[in-house]
Amino acid sequence: MGFEGKVPQGDLATKWVNYRGSMPLVAPNNKRRLDVIVVGTGLAGAAAAATLGELGYNVKCFTFHDSPRRAHSIAAQGGINAAKNYQNDGDSVYRLFYDTVKGGDYRSREANVHRLAEVSVEIIDQAVAQGVPFAREYGGLLANRSFGGVQVSRTFYARGQTGQQLLIGAYQALSRQISRGSVKMYNRHEMLDLVKIDGKARGIIARNLLTGELERHAAHCVILATGGYGNVFYLSTNAMGSNVSAGWRVVKRGAYFANPCYTQIHPTCIPQSGEYQSKLTLMSESLRNDGRVWVPKTKEDAIAIREGKKTGLDIPEEARDYYLERRYPAFGNLVPRDVASRAAKIACDEGNGIVPTGKGVFLDFSSAVQRYGKSQAFSKGLKNPDAKTITELGTKVVEEKYGNLFEMYEKITGENPYVMPMKIYPAVHYTMGGLWVDYHLETNIPGLFCLGEANFSDHGANRLGASALMQGLADGYFVIPYTVGTFLSKEIRTPKFDPDGPEFMQAEADVSNRLQNLLDIQGNQSVESFHRRLGKIMWEYCGMARNEEGLIKARKMIRELREEFYKDVFIPGTQEEFNSELEKAARVADFLELGELFAVDALDRKESCGGHFREEYQTEEGEARRRDDEYAYVAAWEWTDTDQDPTLHKEELEFKDIELKTRSYK
């Protein structure tokens, strides 16, 4: 069965402008009577709640965090893209649109991406007005850098803390609305179910995490901005609390989940050091501008390093394999994330990894130090500087550029990266899949919207660096305030919903029973241990390279693990109190179902594209082989029952403005 994204007619370049100009409006006096629930206070949720509050809607906003400011968005480092063309280097809305569609390996919806590129410019203006301290040039104007291998400088940044500064901007805008009473904020409240009345989304059940009490909240529509699901892999760069439950709960109420298998694995993270590891830490992509990736050419050297008998410094230049430069001479160390990650996996699978677990490669700055050192010496007019001076001068430059990252690396690993080459390995970082939404960011459940990383919409099979912050803020500040109006304009005569009505009471009872069932298991294994085991299955079979046999196996293993979980998990305490183990258990239970759908989706997609690499579908040179004739669709899954196969709905993607090409970085 095919279905559509409700993209408005007309030219790609004018669709959004026309839509905004012709959509039905809600009068201010009516806005006051309409209630909107926003779940999530990351970039997408905080921006949406603040803006809808400004517009005059009655907003209730929820987060499981103790403060809206702690959302996972806070951790983003590198930057945010916008087609400002301040650098006069040929950037444009079209080019950003084109790069995003291409970078996503032609698996996203053209019209959504074009709109994203259009509003990107407004985001920067908005953030500046809020006081976000972006990096500046000496002349006082905004600075840009190039990021993620694109050919223009369109990335705005705030040192290595862009996400923090943008989130604080949105948090402050939200705080202003809270103080005016237009947004009522519910911290430490976790949404555990969606309430539907006559098929439309009309409220949520939330658990007050302090008291354990279940609360029923009604509204005219519900907006989810609940982030990504990378933690289905247990180890990822996501914050510990990031989870899929809000999204998964609405799937259980009939929403479709799109492209779950599209996962971004980031090439530069600190490798795992032991079993106790709780999360992985990203080292910004910007490091690849100056760092060279390598492993020893011989296994003997690699083994010696793993056993601590040699270090990277003992391996002479000619015994090193700079494998990215070798395989991709045109792009070298700057190939896109998916390509760099897979290449690291291959190097380690061949036995040349350089950390005790075998899963790590070097990221080496010594060439950069020499290059910068020489150029500094030259500009300082030093004649015949000695090696020590060059190294000192060069180290200074590297420190200026990456100081805080190097510091963080040293804190975590205890090794000084100015001396020893850094050790890195790919890690799960971002999920392109998510709830299926149409052009209005509305799911297939009327009145239920989804924004930010939680939806599937704009990045296709692979996201470009610095584009997630852009999308979250675009959705929240500039898209949903319009598109939600299209829905709400038809609801102005709908009276407020009674949170004591039968649908609410039933949903609350469902949640309470579900939590009690988990508590009643009283088995012997911790929630964490199940999550860790799920993560291992996912990483092994649904990670950087997938194949049919492995995916079938993974699906079976996940089902077995799920059964074991429902027999043997141990959760102390009760429902009626602050209970972190119970919170985690409910989230892991949902991951145990999502994980299966992930494998099903990866099995269905018999092609390689972006973050999804199927070993059966590669070129002779080992590169991804896309199959546009058969797979240029969005896979939107309907999950009916845990014992049945999910149903696939295909949204065929049409590319009217872009010619489909094979990505090549050779």
Q: 68-87: which residues touch ligand FAD (CB under 6 A)?
A: 71-73, 75-80
Per-residue binder mask for another protein (CB under 8 A), 280-309, x = binder: -xx---------------------------
| Residue 293 host element (H or E) | strand 292-296
Total number of residues shown for the chain: 666
The yes or no reply on residue 573 touching another protein (CB under 8 A) is yes
CA 609 vs CA 263, 320, 552, 602: distances in Å: 11, 30, 20, 11
> Does residue 333 touch ligand FAD according to CB under 6 A?
no
Site for ligand FAD in 280-309 (CB under 6 A): 282
d(CA 154, CA 81): 5
β-partners of residue 155 are: 81, 145
Do the beta carbons of residue 40 and residue 224 sit within 8 Å?
yes
Stretch that binds another protein, among 22-30, 68-76, 321-329, 459-467 (CB under 8 A): 68-76
Q: Which structure tokens are listed for 398?
A: 């590297």
68 binds another protein (CB under 8 A): yes
Least distance CB 469 / ligand FAD (angstroms)? 4
Q: Is 118 in the site for ligand FAD (CB under 6 A)?
A: no
Whether 320 is catalytic is no
When asked if residue 641 is in the footprint of another protein (CB under 8 A), the reply is no
Which DSSP category does 77 fall into? -
User: Which part of the chain contacts ligand FAD (CB under 6 A), choosing from 97-105, 133-141, 226-234, 270-278?
Assistant: 226-234
- Pairing type for strands 257-258 and 434-435 reads antiparallel
Q: How far apart are CA 346 and CA 500, in angstroms?
A: 57
Where are the extended beta strands (E) located within 147-286?
A: 155-156, 183-186, 189-197, 200-208, 214-218, 221-224, 257-258, 263-269
Closest CB to ligand FAD among residues 64, 541: 64
* Binding region for ligand FAD (CB under 6 A) out of 12-20, 43-51, 109-117, 290-298: 43-51
CA distances from 490 to 200, 261, 447 (A): 13, 36, 11
Q: Are strands 214-218 and 200-208 parallel, antiparallel or unpaired?
A: antiparallel
Active site residue: 337, 546, 562, 626, which one? Answer: 337
Q: Which of 9, 28, 88, 276 binds another protein (CB under 8 A)?
A: 276
Q: How far is the CB of 352 from ligand FAD (least distance, A)?
A: 27
Residue of the chain from 506, 517, 580, 662 that contacts another protein (CB under 8 A) = 580
- Measure the CA–CA gap between 507 and 505, rounded to whole angstroms: 6
Q: What is the largest CA-CA distance in the chain?
A: 85
429 neighbors 236 (Cβ within 8 angstroms):
yes
Tell me which stretch binds another protein (CB under 8 A): 70-78, 286-294, 633-641, 647-655: 70-78
A 10 A CB-CB count for 417 gives 23
Instruction: Please count the other Cβ atoms lying within 10 Å of the Cβ belonging to residue 477.
Output: 23
Sites for ligand FAD among residues 167-196 (CB under 6 A): 190-191
Binding to another protein by CB under 8 A, coded x per residue (else -) over 312-351, reads ----------------------------------------
* Dist CA 48 CA 39 (whole Å): 10
Q: Determine if 165 is a binding residue for another protein (CB under 8 A).
A: yes
User: Are 358 and 272 a contacting pair, CB within 8 Å?
Assistant: no
Identify what 279 binds: ligand FAD, another protein, none; CB under 5 to 8 Å per kind: another protein
Structure tokens at 609: 């594209």
Is 116 near ligand FAD (CB under 6 A)?
Answer: no
Rg of the chain on CA atoms, in Å: 25
Does position 414 interact with another protein (CB under 8 A)? The reply is yes
Please choose, from the candidates 189, 260, 264, the residue with its C-alpha nearest in 3D space to the C-alpha of residue 593: 260
Residue number, 75 or 303, with CB nearest to another protein: 75
Which of 9, 22, 88, 179 is in the footprint of another protein by CB under 8 A? 179
| Segment contacting another protein by CB under 8 A, of 14-22, 237-245, 541-549, 630-638 | 237-245
Residue whose entry in the numeric block shows the structure tokens 């604080």: 168
Cβ-based neighbours of 379, under 8 Å, separated by 6 or more:
none
383 binds, among another protein, ligand FAD, none (CB under 5 to 8 A by kind): none
Q: How far apart are CA 221 and CA 541, in angstroms?
A: 38
210 binding partner (options another protein, ligand FAD, none; Cβ < 5 to 8 Å by kind): another protein
- The yes or no reply on residue 74 touching another protein (CB under 8 A) is yes
Exactly one of 26, 51, 61, 63 binds ligand FAD (CB under 6 A); that residue is 63
> What is the rounded CA–CA span in Å between residue 345 and residue 535?
17
Q: Taking CB under 6 A as the criterion, which residues in 236-255 touch ligand FAD? A: 237-238, 242, 245-246
Say whether residue 150 binds ligand FAD (CB under 6 A): no
Which residues are near ligand FAD by CB under 6 A?
39-45, 62-65, 71-73, 75-80, 162-163, 190-191, 225-228, 237-238, 242, 245-246, 282, 429-430, 452-454, 466-469, 472
Give catalytic residues, as residue numbers.
337
